[in-house]
């Protein structure tokens, strides 16, 4: 009986230890995420990017009028392009930690005693960056929607001339593309956070630029008749970051749900890959 009691007690202690370790891990990731989000949100460079993209959203209201028959399409696609550009810039800026801030941050001092693995630390930083980017996208999306409403109020005939639509329909149509661009930005931030493990802005910018360039060019190369096996394989691995693909969800030319799910899975996968790269480079 005593042996059974000791066995049960050891199992309870083991379960409690695992539960405690899981709680410590979640606490550590949350603390790192909170610290990274605060660090990123109050940077002057981040605020500047948010302000410039917001200004570009408003400016699109005036530049779209010169599209001669494609005014509405230009307004929407220009807005999505601004989101892509702003998201890429934030992915780079939020990936690089400010060492001076981190050294005095209480959350990081607590984590020093918890022996949090480097990979989990980078996941925490990535999640913190995702929160800041999400807040920026909310601001940009509201301004984007305001520009569409303003355009509809000032030039109502253009909505019927272009696609016989209304502002309400277009506001509903841009929701999925905005979410898609956000998920693509989350993907970029995951890679940039891991690559910039030693605080290198150049490394973060290079990784994001690489993904953007090949994410735009590679799908077209792989779809060519003379494309080889290597190009087709790379096209399956690297994300499709073409604006035309995002626009297809805007105009209802492809299944939006499957595209969103595929992009979300890619974002999670690249985030994990970035955490692994950060853990290796941090050694």
pLDDT tens sequence across 238-250: 888 888 888 777 7
Whether residue 278 contacts residue 122, with contact meaning beta carbons closer than 8 Å, is answered with yes
pLDDT of residue 16: 37
Cα–Cα distances (Å) from 282 to 2, 19, 179, in that order, read 48, 28, 32
Q: State how far the Cα of 104 lies from the Cα of 109, in Å rounded to an integer.
A: 8
Most confident option among 91-105, 146-160, 164-178, 224-238: 164-178
Q: Give CA–CA dist 271/125, Å, rounded.
A: 11
For the record, the structure tokens of 64 come out as 């779209």
SS3 223: coil
More confident of the two residues 127 and 278? 127
As a whole number of angstroms, the distance between CA 147 and CA 129 comes to 27
Instruction: Give the position of tokens 């993907």.
Output: 187
Separation CA 80–CA 185 (nearest Å): 12
Q: What is the DSSP letter of 66?
A: G
pLDDT in tens, 14-69: 433 455 666 777 777 788 888 888 888 888 899 999 999 999 988 887 877 776 76
Structure confidence by residue, pLDDT tens digits, 250-264 = 777 667 778 788 888
8-state DSSP, 117: -
Q: What percent of the chain has pLDDT over 70?
A: 78
Give the pLDDT confidence score for residue 19 in this predicted structure.
Answer: 54
Q: Where are the domains of the chain?
A: 2-281
The predicted-structure confidence for 167-213, as pLDDT tens digits, reads as follows: 788 888 888 889 999 999 999 998 888 888 666 788 888 889 998 88
């Amino acid at each position: 009986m005593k042996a059974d009691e000791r066995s049960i007690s050891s199992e309870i202690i083991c379960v409690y230890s695992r539960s405690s370790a899981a709680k410590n891990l979640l606490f550590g990731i949350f603390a790192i995420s909170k610290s990274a989000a605060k660090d990123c949100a109050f940077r002057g460079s981040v605020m500047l990017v948010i302000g410039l993209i917001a200004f570009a959203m408003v400016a699109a209201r005036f530049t779209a009028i010169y599209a001669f028959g494609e005014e509405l399409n230009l307004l929407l696609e220009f807005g999505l392009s601004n989101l892509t550009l702003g998201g890429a810039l934030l992915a780079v800026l939020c990936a690089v930690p400010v060492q001076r801030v981190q050294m005095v941050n209480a959350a990081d001092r607590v984590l020093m005693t918890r022996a949090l693995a480097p990979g989990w630390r980078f996941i925490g930083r990535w999640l913190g960056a995702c929160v800041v980017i999400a807040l920026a996208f909310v601001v940009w999306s509201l301004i984007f929607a305001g520009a569409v409403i303003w355009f509809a109020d000032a030039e109502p005939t253009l909505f019927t001339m272009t696609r016989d639509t209304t502002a309400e329909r277009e506001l509903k149509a841009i929701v999925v593309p905005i979410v898609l661009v956000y998920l693509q930005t989350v993907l970029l931030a995951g890679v940039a956070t891991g690559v910039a493990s030693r605080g290198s802005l150049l490394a973060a910018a290079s990784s994001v630029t690489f993904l953007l360039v090949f994410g735009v060019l590679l799908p077209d190369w792989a779809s060519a008749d003379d494309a080889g096996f290597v190009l087709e394989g790379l096209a399956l691995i690297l994300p499709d970051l073409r604006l035309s693909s995002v626009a297809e969800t805007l105009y209802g030319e492809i299944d939006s749900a499957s595209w969103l799910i595929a992009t979300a899975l890619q974002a999670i996968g690249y985030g994990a890959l970035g955490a692994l790269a950060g853990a290796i480079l941090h050694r």
